[in-house]
Amino acid sequence: MQDYNIFKNLKINFPSQFVLHVELNRPAKLNAFDKISWQELHACFKQISLDSDVRAVLISGAGKLFNAGIDLNNLNEINNDTKEKDLARRALHTRKELLVAQDSISSIEQCDKPVIAAIHNGCIGAGIDLITACDIRYCSEDAFFSVKEVDLGLAADVGTLQRLPKIVGNNSLVRELCLTGRNFSSTEALNIGLVNKVLSTKEETLTEALKTANIIASKSPIATLSTKHLLNFSRDHSVTEGLIYTAAWNSAMLNSNDLMEAFDATMGRRKPKFSKL
Ligand SMILES: CC/C=C\C=C\CC(=O)SCCNC(=O)CCNC(=O)[C@H](O)C(C)(C)COP(=O)(O)OP(=O)(O)OC[C@H]1O[C@@H](n2cnc3c(N)ncnc32)[C@H](O)[C@@H]1OP(=O)(O)O
């Protein structure tokens, strides 16, 4: 059994069997990402990957907003604007900080278990980096989104510019959103395919996300892990490369007991029971 009571800025619970809920929990600062948040998010998702008691994950924000982006008080730390070090050393420091933040967000995409974001109210800057690394996104009607970095004088650097175009298309609209930083609504997010469901309230969004997580958690963990892994691989490779890789991957995974259990349960009209990974 993994221990999740070790995080300061994340609140973790199991709302149902095999489903883990990660709540961004810095509500007084609208869940803005400080140094601890980057480190904890990374550690948490690495832990989830290894946890055989988890088959699906929900991520949401505590309090008024889903996420207000990077903690603006931390920008100086990243810049390390000190005259004591030469330019190269300062650049290496900044690069290291950026890689920490990138790895933190990427740990969600690389997590073996499917991750569902339940977004309410604001999702700003680093919040968009986070949700674009998730597998499924639902939001409440009051949600608004902003690729805000351009307003702070920088290009988004921890995933939005790489992942958002792969979700909504590398088109004129995505460039408008990233170049203007303008707010866009839950309706627009639905229309462009950034989210696939809009619910009336935060509570309904969480309930709907949990319903989907429960369905995923009822499947073979080998099948869901493989599906996520192969979708990610195929997104970043040609169809031919994806098919070759899938054949190699499934030549091992088709040996799981889960196939027989799933066939047997279907024929016997009963719920399948899959053993832990
Ligand atoms: C390594 C680099 C990696 C990633 C880089 C990412 C870049 C970005 O994330 S760009 C986006 C940065 N975020 C913002 O620009 C949003 C800033 N916040 C706001 O504009 C507003 O807070 C709001 C989201 C519109 C909400 O407004 P409101 O409802 O009026 O709440 P506030 O009173 O403003 O905020 C309450 C409380 O939270 C603090 N806070 C809000 N956002 C941040 C933040 N990003 N960083 C730090 N603190 C934040 C705010 O100061 C208030 O705190 P008090 O102590 O109560 O004053």
- The rounded Å distance from CA 224 to ligand 1 centre is 36
Residue nearest to atom 40 of ligand 1 (CA): 29
Q: Enumerate the domain spans of the chain.
A: 10-217, 221-267
E strand or H helix that includes residue 183: none
Least confident of 43-57, 70-84, 104-118: 70-84
Please, which pLDDT band fits residue 52 given cuts at 50, 70 and 90?
A: very high
**pLDDT over 90 (residue 76):** no
Of all atoms in ligand 1, which is nearest to the CA of residue 70? 9
CATH number of the domain located at residue range(s) 221-267 in this protein: 1.10.12.10
Contact (CB, 8 A) for 4 and 47: yes
Please, which pLDDT band fits residue 2 given cuts at 50, 70 and 90?
A: confident
Residue nearest to atom 57 of ligand 1 (CA): 29
Please give the pLDDT value at position 172. 96
- The rounded Å distance from CA 69 to ligand 1 centre is 7
> Looking at residues 16-28, what average pLDDT do you find?
98
> Looking at residues 106-117, what average pLDDT do you find?
98
Spatial distance between the Cα atoms of 72 and 93, rounded to a whole number of angstroms: 18
Q: In this structure, are strands 184-185 and 144-146 parallel, antiparallel, or unpaired? A: antiparallel
Q: What is the tens place of the pLDDT at every residue in 173-232?
A: 999 999 999 999 999 999 999 999 999 999 999 999 999 999 999 999 999 999 999 999
Q: Is the CB of 100 under 6 A from ligand 1?
A: no
User: Is the ipTM reported for this complex over the cut 0.95?
Assistant: yes
Residue nearest to atom 46 of ligand 1 (CA): 71
Kindly report the backbone phi and psi dihedral angles of residue 241, in degrees, each rounded to the nearest multiple of 5, phi listed first.
Answer: -65, -40
Contact (CB, 8 A) for 147 and 132: no
**pLDDT over 70 (residue 81):** no
Helices (H), the chain: 35-50, 75-79, 87-110, 126-132, 160-168, 172-180, 186-192, 202-217, 221-235, 239-253, 258-267
**What would the two tokens of residue 217 be?**
């958690």
Spatial distance between the Cα atoms of 271 and 265, rounded to a whole number of angstroms: 6
**pLDDT over 80 (residue 5):** yes
* pTM listed for this prediction: 0.97
Residues 147-173 as b or e (16 or more Cβ within 10 Å = b): bbbbeeeeebebbbbbbbbeebeeeee
Residue nearest to atom 31 of ligand 1 (CA): 30
| DSSP-assigned beta bridge partners for residue 123 | 67, 145
**What would the two tokens of residue 158 be?**
């921890």
Quick one: CATH architecture of 10-217?
Answer: Alpha-Beta Complex (3.90)
- The rounded Å distance from CA 140 to ligand 1 centre is 20
Helix, strand, coil share (%) of the chain residues, nearest 5: 50, 15, 30
> Looking at residues 247-271, what average pLDDT do you find?
96
- The rounded Å distance from CA 225 to ligand 1 centre is 35
One-letter identity of residue 143: A
**What would the two tokens of residue 78 be?**
């990243």
Tell how far CA 88 is from the center of its chain.
33
Probe ligand 1: pick from 9, 25, 26, 29, max atoms within 8 Å of CB?
29
Across the chain, mean pLDDT equals 96
Residue nearest to atom 38 of ligand 1 (CA): 29
